[in-house]
Chain A
Amino acid sequence: MAAGIAATPDALNRAGGLPARARRFWRSAPSAFRIGAIILTIHILLALLGWVWTPYDYVARVGIPLSGMSWEHLFGVDQNARDIFSRVLYGGHIVILLAVSGTLLGVLVGAAFGLTAGYLGGWFDEVVMRLFDAFNSIPFLVLALLASAVAGPVASGEPLLLVGVVALVYAPRVGRIARGAAQTVATQDYVMVARLRGERVRDIVRREILPNCSGPLLVEFALRAGYAPVLIGSLGFLGFGVRAPLPEWGRMIAENRNLIFTTPEALLAPGIALATLVVGLNLFTDGIARMIGRSTPHAGA
């Protein structure tokens, strides 16, 4: 491959003002990123819309139960006579908020421990790694179910619990990646230079290690955030999700499972919504990973 200075992807080309840079950035981004970004933007806009307005109130009984599609009820009405379209629309911001905040919390906690462990090595690293390994050994869905159950009947169904559960599942997995990234960065000479100045560990991790791991961490965030709706949906499907009557897409699919013959659109609406959100997030993640320089990122279990 031709070597040389300009071989590094120059998406951070710093000439020009902000709008010019943004336009250049958009044009040089891979198509996966662009399609993903567009899908996500649509979802976010719809979610914002659904938060403030829906055609019908999401718990109100508005029609004949299990009546099919019509102009008033685009996706029909479920067995409790609630408008399905409104419910799906309203559920958008719930899923996105839960997914994003849970992932964010998980990434923050995981990165904090993982980066430090990767830089320090030694006994701290060993201890943290064992803890991460232990939590990672419990299949994520099982861990999520366990955490939900442990929280007890009072907390069950609370959105905040769901955020915590998502964070708990993701922190050790992200932490593992963060540790690996930190280990690579820690061998670089500029980290050694900081050590030779006698700087403290937390300063070194904050100034030298963290900014140079932002690539992999960003990819991890996007990746996990992409799977979070499925995780939350699975929990909802199994009955451990957000409490009724909040319209969480996964639980809606579970609830309406039996309507599969009579009113399939009851399933279709939340199913398509969930699937497209996840597709958008996956494309977005793919695009970011490619821009950072790796080929395909991989989701662990």
Chain B
Amino acid sequence: MAAPLPQETTAPVVASIRDVGLAYWQQQAWSDVLHHVHLDVHAGEIVGLVGESGCGKSSLSLLMMGFRHPSAKVRSGEIWFDGSDLLAMPEADLARVRGNRIGFVPQNPTTALNPGMRVGAQIAEVLMVHGRVKTREAAMERIVELFGDVGLPEPRALARRYPHQLSGGQQQRVTIAMALACDPDLVVLDEPTTGLDVTTQEQIILLLKNLRARHGTAMLYVTHDLGVLSELADRISVMYAGHLVESAPTDVLFEYPRHPYTRGLIGSIPRLDGRRPREGRLTGYLDRREIPAGCPFQPRCPLADDRCAVEPQILGECAPGHAVACRNADSVTPLVLDDGGVRLARADSPTLLEVEDLSLRYGQMSLYQRLVPSALPPVVVRDVSFTIAEAEVVALVGESGSGKSTIARAISGLLTPIGGRIALRGKELEGGIGARSSDVVRRIQFIFQNPDASLNPRQSVGRSLARPIEVFFDSSHGAPRALVEKALDEVLLTADYAGRYPDQLSGGERQRIAIARALVAEPDLLLCDEVLSALDVSVQANVLDLLERLRRETSVAMLFISHDLAVVRRLADRVCVLYHGQVMELGPVDAVFEPPYHPYTLTLLMSLPGSPLRSGQPVARSEPEREPQAQGCAFAGRCPWQPDARCYTEPPPLHTTDRGVAIRCHLPLANLADLARPQAADPTHAMQTREAGTTP
């Protein structure tokens, strides 16, 4: 039984998780998911629980509601709330606590809301069941109040809508309103912003901070995203493989993490300035079959020794309010950053790919749709132009709906453009894959986002890698086996991987194989469609390293698609920012990350958690005031710096800065340069402004 966590604040404890262990019945055996977890939530504070996928944090968030899956068993521990143990409460009593004293905000609001019930009715239900209101009218008044709190416009009209009529961000606000309906003492949030755009996520975070300030609600925020917690949480607990490994106030955690895992995790987060820790990065991945009896992190830990594998580590205080479960906590040094990626100067390489005035509809057109124009799929990309030079990395950045993936599909031949042209080394490319020659097909390779779906589960790694060789090359090119081993080597995997099957590999390894498969065809251009987004943060860093290495050592060009600007900073040579199918800004990477900015680029930069650009800036509207016309600027209606109504109807003119950045905006360049000022450095931003590890 570990010592309870040190009391940091004098506020009363709202909920206390004590020594909780949980196991699931899987494949005819019990497997432990949570081990001896301790966590306290004080009144008015936001506690963050961070961990990568599969660490058990979601299970813990549900346990907090007294809820467990039918095939789960609580091995040990209690959860104290208001004098009772939630884990031992009968269902009837639990029903009185849930939704009433403890609120829950789910990960996926779209599936969590009953599709057949109006959203207002779903909130009214909670109010009535817990006796907060007696009449429908009283319920509606409370709903209006709640919707005002969470920033939903036109509450009476919105309450009558069905969930599918709301956007993702609006749905999540509704679930937050629902969780707050009965003025709970505690709100548990399970990854509430996963799956939302970064600008929407930003707004939800602001909302939560606001709510805490106004109502003093305590929150337990469970997530895999440390960046979000750096903005939001007062204290953070780090979880690894079901064990709590470190717990500290947010500032302290970022400044001087004491557990090797926490340190590695913080170091893996991509920074806006492109700098990286010199050492201490996370290697390997969590293999559930190889967890030692002692510390679960031992296989991956740079400081571990044989004792660590055998002795379970217990949370103990290393500084006031700071607990860590590591024998070697004192040997953990702070992170030291490097100078940022080496920028390779590629002077005037010839153009490899040219995209000119490309316009695309989302999806292929069926016969029916050709006859009935109003049923056509919407135009998602409009007059987009950019080039990629040989061996250059161009990043396409945008949120969902920006059209970036659609462009990649058009380049690869999966989608036929409705306007414009795509040319490879000057020769125009045919629309469909079937019309292209095998050689052309070989030269452009596609890597997909989801590592779980990109490898055929029934084929061994070796077969999957050998197939492109069979298809594209004849026997004179070399023995397939040797080529497969060479490809594995290039992605830093040993030759014995060839005999393995995808279900034996981790997400990061699968993604490497996907990259190797693309490289084996010896392409000129790699289309990387959000290849990092489905990976855990620590694995992302490794794969990003790999891509950087490939860029240095081979001469393959890349079109790197991402919604994450920080990731792009280090890898790309040039950046193209897209919004709703139009190019907003295009230029060399360093120049794009500095003023003058296009308003949308600035909005994106501001939305990154911990961004130094945030404070004192107006926020972009979540919904456009008016829909811009097709030839107007796509960002009109949402742009907080919008000069006038021209933006809706007239195409914005092109400005080019002296550093070669192209920006389309009705505002003159001089104004755009001023947009980013004033920016007061906010001392509460633990991440981006302060160099972690340097003594102040």
Contacts and interface: CB of A to CB of B under 8 A. Distances in A.
A33 to B, nearest CB: 13
B501 interface: yes
B436 A208 contact: no
Contact of A195 (B286, B433, B458, B504): B433
Interface stretch (B25-33, B263-271, B390-398, B617-625): B25-33
A25 interface: no
A5 interface: yes
Given A189-B450, A197-B468, A199-B471, 19 more contacts: A1-B24, A2-B56, A3-B54, A3-B58, A4-B54, A5-B507, A6-B288, A28-B28, A190-B456, A193-B446, A193-B448, A193-B454, A193-B517, A196-B441, A197-B441, A197-B472, A198-B434, A208-B456, A211-B458
B424 to A, nearest CB: 15
A2 B54 contact: yes
A199 B470 CA distance: 11
A2 B458 CA distance: 24
A6 B33 contact: no
Interface residues on A, range: 20 to 34
Contacts of B472: 197
Contacts of A5: 54, 287-288, 503, 505-507
Interface of B: 24, 26-28, 31, 33, 53-54, 56, 58-59, 69, 286-289, 412-414, 433-434, 436, 438, 441, 445-446, 448-450, 453-459, 464, 467-468, 471-472, 501, 503-507, 517
A8 interface: yes
A197 B521 CA distance: 10
16 contacts: A3-B54, A5-B287, A6-B288, A10-B27, A188-B453, A189-B450, A189-B454, A190-B455, A190-B464, A193-B454, A194-B467, A196-B413, A197-B472, A198-B438, A198-B471, A211-B456
Interface in A183-205: 188-190, 192-199
B27 A1 contact: no
Contacts of A208: 456
Contacts of A65: none
Interface string A6-28: 11111010100000000000001
A196 B33 contact: no
A54 to B, nearest CB: 42
Contacts of B505: 5
Contact of B24 (A2, A14, A188, A192): A2
A1 B27 CA distance: 13
A208 B517 CA distance: 16
A212 interface: yes
Nearest to A195: B433
State the 5 A-B residue pairs at the shortest beta-carbon distance, nearest first: A4-B54, A211-B458, A189-B448, A189-B454, A189-B453
A212 B468 CA distance: 20
A2 B26 contact: yes
Nearest to B450: A189
B209 to A, nearest CB: 29
B69 A1 contact: yes
A3 B456 contact: no
Nearest to A122: B366
A188 B472 CA distance: 22
A1 B467 CA distance: 36
A212 B457 contact: yes
Interface of A: 1-10, 12, 14, 28, 188-190, 192-199, 207-208, 211-212, 214
Q: Please indicate which of the listed interface residues B445, B458, B471 has the most CB atoms of chain A within 10 Å of its own CB.
A: B458
Contacts of A14: 501, 504
Contacts of B458: 211-212, 214
Contacts of B436: 198
A195 B454 CA distance: 12
A156 to B, nearest CB: 43
Contact of B471 (A6, A28, A197, A212): A197
Nearest to A193: B454
B83 to A, nearest CB: 30
A194 B445 CA distance: 11
B400 to A, nearest CB: 18
A6 B285 CA distance: 13
Contacts of A193: 446, 448, 454, 517
Most buried by B among A1, A5, A8, A194: A5
Nearest to B22: A2
A192 B518 CA distance: 13
Contacts of B517: 193
Contacts of B441: 196-198
**Of listed B24, B446, B501, residue having the most chain A CB within 10 A:** B446
A8 B507 CA distance: 14
Contact of A190 (B31, B289, B454): B454
Contacts of B24: 1-2
Contacts of B56: 2
A215 to B, nearest CB: 10
A193 B463 CA distance: 14
A240 to B, nearest CB: 41
A206 B218 CA distance: 56
A158 B27 CA distance: 47
Contact of A197 (B453, B454, B467, B506): B467
Contact of B414 (A1, A196, A211): A196
A214 B458 CA distance: 10
A10 B29 CA distance: 13
B412 A2 contact: no
B501 A28 contact: no
Contacts of B449: 189
Contacts of B455: 190
A126 to B, nearest CB: 11
B31 to A, nearest CB: 7
Contacts of A207: 456, 459
